[in-house]
Amino acid sequence: MRHGAVALVALFAATSCIIGNAFYQKKQFFPAVIYLAKYRPFFAVILAQCLTFLVMIAKFICWIFFGTLQRSEVDNILSRAWYTFFDMCLVFAFFQDELNTKFMFLFTIILFVKTFHWLLEERIENVSKRYEIPFICLLAAIDVFHIAYFYWGTDVRMLSSLAVGAEYYILLFGLVSTIVRYILQTISSLRDSPWDQKAMYMLYADIAVGLFRLSFYLEFAPILWSHHPFPLFMVRPIYLNFRFLRKTVRDLLMSQRAIRLMNTVFQDITVAELAASSDTVCIICREEMHTLATAPPANGETVQQQQPRPSSSEVASSIKRLPCSHIFHATCLRSWFQRQQTCPTCRLNVLRNPAQASQQGQRQQQQPGRGDRHVAQPRSATTSSHSPLESASSTNATSTADSSRPAFPTAAGVGFI
């Protein structure tokens, strides 16, 4: 922090000396500006000062809307910024005939706006306690304004203007995905019990936004191909969005298949089997598993009458046994299968020959010491946008199903840069 402050003061002093020297030599405003613009070392220092002011403005806006940023949020933004920097190099190579200070300034503003989109996505996915509705509306207004300006307020024959407008179009698609996730997170937080269908609705939203984004790329690509033999910077976003869309559809189909197997093939355990189990803690939600008849009364409640003692053959319909003999809450399994189709404990693929795996699990249960579970932590990762979930990585769960954050990079925010 101290070294950064020293560098900031030194840069500000150098800029002040350069501007003061230019006005001292030229005496007038216009000749001084021409002198600063043509002398490249002075112009580079002024650009560095402008970037510094832009970073300070970004930090001030973040402090107003988001408060103190977490270390993970800063690291994620820096990682995405590096990917964006290399994409910008490809864009600059494509538009080298139109490359000038104005063009670079426009793409710097895009990177500036992208940063707030990424940060908003981080906060929404982490179930922020603060409501971000004003900032969502502000970003939506900025995206719509730039789309209207670059498509109707500039010369359509300039490909650079179309590319900048298209980038804001992609940002608007990502913002729509973030808004949908925010609405689903808000509905889930208002419910007294966990919402099992939230992850499924997020997958539907990701598929819809992914289709719109991919169709936009396929519509915009021929325009560039008509003016350039091979726009290389278009290949990566089209590939990432297509791969993301394919993976999201596959995840949706696999999760529906796993849930259908859970409801029709996987067995409900009996009360006697639950009582004989050595471990009755569901490792997904970290809560004790009880049947309806054996569940303890809530705090402050008294049992009015003696509950009938459950028979050993009574079925606990809220608890399911996987083919590997591990038992979990049915609602927790539903949420887990919406992200991955494996056993939370032993990582057995429940979609691979469920009948044969069930017979193998029963044989293991009959052997002494094979039916006990070894509790394992669920893998922590995130599920997009969203993209959905910048290269569509595999998704995992960290709790009962409230976390659905995509691992970086995802296709939710993939654009030209």
What's the CA gap between 197 and 159, in Å, rounded? 43
Cα gap 194→217, rounded to integer Å: 37
Is pTM beyond 0.75 here? no
- Domain, as residue range, for 14: 1-65
Q: Is residue 51 part of a domain?
A: yes
pLDDT at 132: 65
Tell whether 101 is covered by a domain: no
Question: b/e for 33-72, b at 16 or more Cβ within 10 A?
Answer: eebbeeeeebeebbeebeeeeeeeebeebbeebbeeeeee
Q: Is residue 408 part of a domain?
A: no
pLDDT tens track for 315-365: 445 788 888 888 888 888 888 888 888 888 888 888 876 555 555 555 555
Single out the residue of 123, 119, 114 nearest to residue 185, CA to CA.
123
* Domain membership flag for residue 182: no
Within a domain: 110: no
- Max distance between CA atoms of the chain, in angstroms, equals 99
Instruction: Give the per-residue pLDDT at 400.
Output: 37
Strand partners, 349: 342
- Separation between Cα atoms, residue 407 and residue 204, nearest integer Å: 18
Question: Could you give the 3-state DSSP secondary structure of residue 268?
Answer: strand
Cβ contact 389:383 at 8 Å = yes
Q: Closest Cα to residue 213, out of 172, 251, 250, 184?
A: 172
Sequence length of the chain is 417
Domain assignment present for 281: no
> In terms of Cα–Cα distance, which of 96, 391, 366 is closest to 231?
96
> In the chain, how many domains are there?
1
| Residue 363 in domain | no
CA distances from 115 to 12, 141, 206, 285, 324 (A): 24, 16, 21, 34, 45
Query: Is 52 a member of any domain?
Result: yes
**Would you state the structure tokens that stand for residue 127, as one six-digit string?**
């179930």
- Give pLDDT, residue 354: 55
Question: What is the distance between the alpha carbons of residues 328 and 289, in angstroms, rounded to a whole number?
Answer: 8
Residues of the chain short of pLDDT 50, as ranges, are 293-295, 297-316, 368-409
Q: Please tell me the predicted confidence (pLDDT) of residue 351.
A: 82
